[in-house]
Amino acid sequence: MNTINKITGILSSWGNYFRIKAVSYWLTSLKIPDALIKTAYIPYGNGRSYGDCALNSTILHTTKFNQIISFDNKLGIIQCQAGILLADILEEIIPHKWFLPVTPGTKFITLGGAVAADVHGKNHHKEGCFSTYLLNLELLLPSGEILQCSPQKNAALFRATCGGMGLTGVIISVTFKLKAIQSTLISQKTVLSNNLEATFAAFEKHNTATYTVAWIDGLTSKKQLGKSVLFIGEHDSQGSFDYSSKQSLSIPRYFPSFVLNPLSIKLYNFFYFRKQNKGIQKVPLNTFFYPLDAIKNWNRIYGKKGFIQYQVIIPKVNAYNGIYELLYKIQQSNHTPYLIVLKLMGKENDNYLSFPLEGYTIAIDFKMGKHLLSFLNQLDQITLSHNGRAYLAKDARMSQPFFEKGYPRLKLFKDIRTFHHLENLQSLQSKRLGI
């Protein structure tokens, strides 16, 4: 008998920009709940998607499927149910001297979400997306059929699922390879740059490093546009394997809207840049990979209206000019960038809707406000003029034409949906973008 848990309530995205009334079901067996057989729904993990890619009037929670199925701690191969959090995987694998081969900036997403977004990390320029390390995934289709998918078996469906934002089925389990480490410390080198040209030069100088990421000050003069702190990291060979995913701070309620303002951010940026220690330090793994995870509900800092993260990628040949134009356009506007992160990215993979391509990606947080959406449309035009595209996992508002121009393999993805009769899988995002 298939047990159905059903709740009707308000759901919001992590950016708190979307709040919708939704009927929620929980997956409690290897069968789609009967009530969803003729209803459009979308799989839902831990609610960390910034936009509307995991929202719909009906959703199917996966977090009760959250067990480790098998772990070969000699070979570094693990199979987990897809509703498990990356944080829980880390708690298990790190004492055995293993780490995730690719990790995004938060460990509080589900494994299925990591596959559906084909997440990338600070090592993409060297080691690619998360899907690179997948050996197999089990996919539950709306028909009730369960398919084994890998680069060798049901390969087209595999390529559609990795980066497919939950629109190909419910990921039940994932088997993937881990990365061997020798401690929980990261050897971190910090390089300060006074403008975008110097920032790009620093990235290229250190392009053989395993991990690179830059924080950019978005409130400088034109002369210092692109001023940054570049963090370069390698797994350290010495140290303990003590590790915990616990969060030390919590934001109990939404901040008043006046707390975050251009002056407070300008002061923060000034002192953040000044306090950085050039040279090499040993920092905890959590500090390097997951700085915001230390604060529970940090998204509330942006207030009740929420925020939008604008993340795009621009091919390497156009990257400097494109990133400069984006930053300059923002500087000339009335929209404050509260956080800007820049990463170097490696070669594009074969997945139909995976975000990365060889170039640079920039992610910019804006507090939701008047005229922001129309301003972001202007940033889209700059991105398009340099052959760039936006990240579906962060998207909350891009237009269908912008999306279609950025993803040339979209037809292959749609063909897979048609072939496997996946029309029941829909999100607010997929409807908006006509996927």
pLDDT, residue 2, reads 44
pLDDT, residue 255, reads 86
* Cα distance between residue 431 and residue 42, in whole Å: 12
Q: Structure pTM?
A: 0.95
CA angle 264, 320, 346 (to 5 degrees): 100
pLDDT, residue 1, reads 35
* Cα distance between residue 41 and residue 11, in whole Å: 14
Burial, 277: exposed, middle or buried (Cβ in 10 Å; 0-12, 13-18, 19+)? exposed
Contact, 132 vs 118, CB < 8 A? Answer: no
pLDDT, residue 178, reads 98
Helices within 1-154 (DSSP H only): 86-93, 111-116, 124-127
Rounded to the nearest angstrom, the gap between the alpha carbon of residue 228 and the centroid of all alpha carbons in its chain is: 22
Kindly give the pairing relationship between strand 42-44 and strand 19-26: unpaired
**Fold observed for domain 185-399:** Alpha-Beta Plaits (3.30.70)
Kindly give the pairing relationship between strand 295-296 and strand 249-250: parallel
Domain 68-181+409-433, CATH number (from 3.40.50.620, 2.60.290.11, 3.40.50.1370, 3.30.465.10):
3.30.465.10
- Which residues in the chain come in under a pLDDT of 50? 1-3
Rounded to the nearest angstrom, the gap between the alpha carbon of residue 361 and the centroid of all alpha carbons in its chain is: 12
Domain boundaries, the chain: 6-61, 68-181+409-433, 185-399
pLDDT, residue 18, reads 85
Maximum Cα–Cα distance across the chain: 67
Residues 6 or more apart whose Cβ sits within 8 Å of residue 180: 76, 97, 98, 99
